[in-house]
Structure 1
Amino acid sequence: MSKTLLIVEDDARVADFLLRGLRAEGYTPTAVGSAEDALPLLRQGGFELALFDVMLPGQSGMELCQQIRAECLALPVLMLTAMGSVQERVAGLRCGADDYLT
């Protein structure tokens, strides 16, 4: 059985790259371009993992993570971002992400 993943990434090229790579590895990924598009899907459930970009239009990936944690949505969250300073990593983990990958 494949694992269902939600990718929240506003850069279409990056999202496409992740979709193709994850499908090739047997995952069933879905991609959306904003936190606002992701939130209803996350509330519906059915995903086993979420990958959030930090810098999204409107609400950031960190704000999205804080919101789903406040709503007690138990879902592993990985932050995937180019923002790799120690302070940014700490902020990502403090907002509720399970890991922060640069």
Structure 2
Amino acid sequence: MIRRLRSLDDVRAACGDDDLVMWAAQELSGGSRAWALGEAVVAGSPGVSRHDRLAVWGQAVDAVALVRHALGELGPTYRPLGEVELVRQVAAKVDGVRRPRSSPG
């Protein structure tokens, strides 16, 4: 069951204090929200670093459901960020999410 995380302590506990998720949570103010499911967490924040961001952390199977849920709540302008392989797995299963570009070299 997807649960909304209502405090930074909840976010921290759910993601093991992951830097990217904590950054995206933005104090859970100004429209920022976070959710957890199983072994995954997403935190979304509007207009952070000039874009709507959605940090993704954890196991892909749970992250896919969370990203679908978050995009349904927050809207399609949110761009998932996270470990490249995790975002690739999410993008392969969630319509409208683009795969990350490969690094040159």
Mark yes or no: TM-score above 0.5.
Answer: no
Structure of greater relative contact order (alpha carbons < 8 Å, 6+ residues apart): 1
Q: TM-score range by the shorter chain?
A: 0.3 to 0.5
Q: TM-score, normalised by structure 1?
A: 0.41
Q: TM-score, normalised by structure 2?
A: 0.40
